[in-house]
């Protein structure tokens, strides 16, 4: 394990180039591999999670290459054209990659084996397996549907209509990816809208995808199966989830003003922005535009006082990866912040709900869990810090508490910074480049 410590900073200033969006990067590689022709991808996130997906697509017959200028190219084999991999597919810590890959594999008449690191092997996969079995795939897994698992893809995938029991963009995406190989129409019904990167990118590659919402607010996403996907260049927007860390840091450190260019603002991903604005954050959107079907803007973030708010449970799907860093912001706010409906956080890379509570408590912040709600009593700008946080193999826990340390009275230490490289390579260097004081190991 690689320990890291964050110390109180002077003002943060300058421009920070956030890495590419992880969710879009996974999908660009997968759909590029399922298209005919060569897709050029600019701005691909080069974290470990994405590199695992790139390796997997290469192992199944696509050609995946990186040029010296950082542009990636994927020469695809067409829908249903992937070959059986000769070895086990190791997805490392990539939960999104693993679940989406199950959908890709389920639509191909072949047998593949998939595993991951100790954290990924503990995460539930059964909710993805259920609809894929309905489509004709066989999935053999450990107790609870956990990795390692075997996917025997359907020889004749069947289109289905599937109602998500709980909102999940990953389950929806797995069904749609398998549905590419099925005749007719595959539909997914969502009780609440979730991030729609898959639908947007499938359209970008030439698939027909319809979206309708009924009078009860249930969203139906329908894919017309067996399309001929055509290579289409992709510019990956900068990752909003990664931007959340310097964004919150700049809100907390007095006198700060930073610019975050080219941030993806997909409305199903940016619930944190809505919440921070409700808390009184000074965040300005500039140069609003659209690239590759995704809305993008430059964000200018300035320090200002924050107040506690109640975050409704229906917002959770649009900010499920940001509750840890929101909790850090809440610790510095005036009053109580209640985050409702966070059951999903218990089955992420770690039990994030417990990790947040333990980390805040270790740094002098009052916090309690009531059912699936997290309640943080803010310290109105003055947080003691001085704690050592156990990150439990979770990159977002590590980065969130290092952000906390830039504004606490005493340094904050995380026991393992190594997982940060899975989603945000260069996090320490980027933060220090705008004025933070974060050291790793013996630095």
What's the confidence (pLDDT) of residue 350? 55
Helix (H), strand (E) at residue 374:
strand 373-377
Q: What is the pLDDT of residues 344-381, one digit of tens each?
A: 777 555 578 888 999 999 999 999 999 889 999 999 99
Tokens for 370?
Answer: 């009531």
Same fold for the domain at 4-20+237-440 and the one at 22-222+231-235?
yes
Which pLDDT tens digits describe the chain residue by residue (443 residues)?
789 999 999 999 999 999 999 899 999 999 999 999 999 999 999 989 999 999 999 999 999 999 999 999 999 999 999 999 999 999 999 999 999 999 999 999 999 999 999 989 998 899 999 999 999 999 999 988 899 999 999 999 999 999 999 889 999 999 999 999 999 999 999 988 888 999 999 999 999 999 999 988 899 999 999 999 999 999 999 999 999 999 999 999 999 999 999 999 998 889 999 999 999 999 999 999 987 678 999 999 999 999 999 999 989 888 988 999 999 999 999 999 999 988 877 755 557 888 899 999 999 999 999 988 999 999 999 999 999 999 988 889 999 999 999 999 999 999 999 988 877 889 999 999 999 999 987 55
Rounded distance between C-alpha atoms, residue 143 and residue 157, angstroms = 25
What's the confidence (pLDDT) of residue 207? 97
Q: Which of 261, 283, 251, 258 is nearest to 17 (CA)?
A: 261
CA distances from residue 292 to 23, 43, 49, 202, 288 in whole angstroms, order as listed: 14, 12, 22, 11, 14
Catalytic member of 321, 394, 409, 415: 321
For the segment(s) 22-222+231-235, the CATH number from 3.10.129.10, 2.30.29.30, 3.65.10.10, 3.90.226.10 is 3.65.10.10
What's the confidence (pLDDT) of residue 443? 57
Q: Which of 234, 273, 295 is nearest to 24 (CA)?
A: 234
CA distances from residue 177 to 154, 181, 217, 412, 415 in whole angstroms, order as listed: 13, 8, 24, 42, 38
What's the confidence (pLDDT) of residue 415? 95
Helix H segments across 135-168? none
- Say which residues have a Cβ less than 8 Å from residue 120's Cβ, sequence separation at least 6: 91, 92, 93, 94, 95, 98, 147, 349
What's the confidence (pLDDT) of residue 388? 96
Angle at 332 between CA 296 and CA 322, to 5 degrees: 35
Q: Mention the CATH class of domain 4-20+237-440.
A: alpha beta
Domain ranges of the chain: 4-20+237-440, 22-222+231-235
What's the confidence (pLDDT) of residue 154? 97
Q: What's this model's pTM, rounded to 2 decimal places?
A: 0.83
- Say which residues have a Cβ less than 8 Å from residue 228's Cβ, sequence separation at least 6: 36, 78, 79, 206
Rounded distance between C-alpha atoms, residue 436 and residue 250, angstroms = 10
| Share of the chain residues as helix, strand and coil, in percent rounded to the nearest 5 | 35, 30, 40
**Given the structure tokens 């390692």, which residue do they identify?**
148
Instruction: Please confirm, yes or no, whether 321 is among the known catalytic residues.
Output: yes
CA distances from residue 59 to 55, 84, 103, 273, 343 in whole angstroms, order as listed: 6, 8, 16, 38, 36
Q: Which of 232, 236, 233, 302 is nearest to 264 (CA)?
A: 236
Rounded distance between C-alpha atoms, residue 316 and residue 320, angstroms = 5
């Amino acid at each position: 394990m690689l320990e890291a410590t964050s110390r109180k900073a002077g003002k943060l200033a300058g421009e920070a180039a956030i890495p590419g969006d992880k969710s879009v990067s996974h999908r660009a590689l997968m759909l590029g591999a399922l298209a005919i022709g060569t897709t050029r991808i600019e701005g691909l996130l080069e974290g470990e999670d994405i590199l695992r997906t790139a390796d997997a697509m290469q192992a199944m017959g696509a050609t995946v290459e990186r040029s010296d200028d950082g542009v990636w190219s994927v020469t695809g084999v067409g829908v249903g054209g992937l070959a059986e991999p000769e070895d086990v597919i190791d997805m490392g810590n990539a939960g999104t990659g693993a679940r989406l890959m199950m959908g890709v594999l389920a639509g191909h008449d072949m047998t593949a084996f998939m595993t991951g690191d100790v954290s990924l092997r503990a995460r539930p996969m059964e909710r993805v397996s259920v609809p894929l079995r309905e489509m004709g795939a066989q999935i053999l897994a450990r107790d609870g549907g956990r990795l390692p698992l075997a996917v025997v893809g359907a020889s004749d995938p069947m289109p289905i209509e599937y109602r998500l029991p709980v909102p999940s963009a990953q389950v929806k995406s797995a069904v749609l990816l398998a549905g590419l190989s099925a005749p007719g129409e595959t539909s997914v019904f969502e009780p609440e809208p979730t991030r729609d990167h898959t639908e947007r990118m499938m359209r970008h590659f030439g698939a027909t995808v319809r979206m309708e919402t009924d009078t009860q607010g249930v969203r139906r996403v329908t894919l017309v199966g067996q399309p001929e996907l055509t290579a289409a260049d992709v510019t990956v927007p900068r990752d909003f989830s990664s931007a959340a860390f310097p964004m919150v840091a700049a809100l907390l450190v007095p006198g700060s003003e930073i610019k975050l260019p080219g941030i993806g603002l997909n409305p199903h991903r940016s619930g944190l922005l809505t919440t921070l604005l409700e808390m009184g954050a000074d965040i300005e959107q500039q140069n609003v535009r659209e690239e590759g079907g995704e809305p993008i803007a430059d964000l200018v973030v300035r320090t200002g006082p924050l107040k506690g708010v109640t975050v409704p449970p229906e917002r959770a799907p649009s900010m499920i990866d940001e509750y840890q860093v929101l909790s850090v912001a809440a610790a510095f706010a005036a009053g109580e912040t209640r985050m409702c409906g966070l059951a999903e956080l218990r089955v992420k890379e770690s039990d994030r709900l417990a990790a947040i509570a333990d980390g805040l408590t270790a740094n002098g912040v009052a916090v309690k869990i009531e059912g699936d709600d997290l309640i943080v009593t803010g310290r109105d700008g003055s947080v003691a810090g001085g704690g050592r946080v156990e990150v439990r193999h979770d990159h977002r826990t590590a980065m969130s508490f290092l952000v906390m340390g830039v504004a606490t009275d005493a340094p904050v230490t995380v026991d393992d910074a190594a997982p940060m490289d899975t989603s945000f390579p260069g996090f320490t260097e980027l933060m220090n480049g705008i004025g933070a004081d974060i050291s790793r190991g013996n630095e």
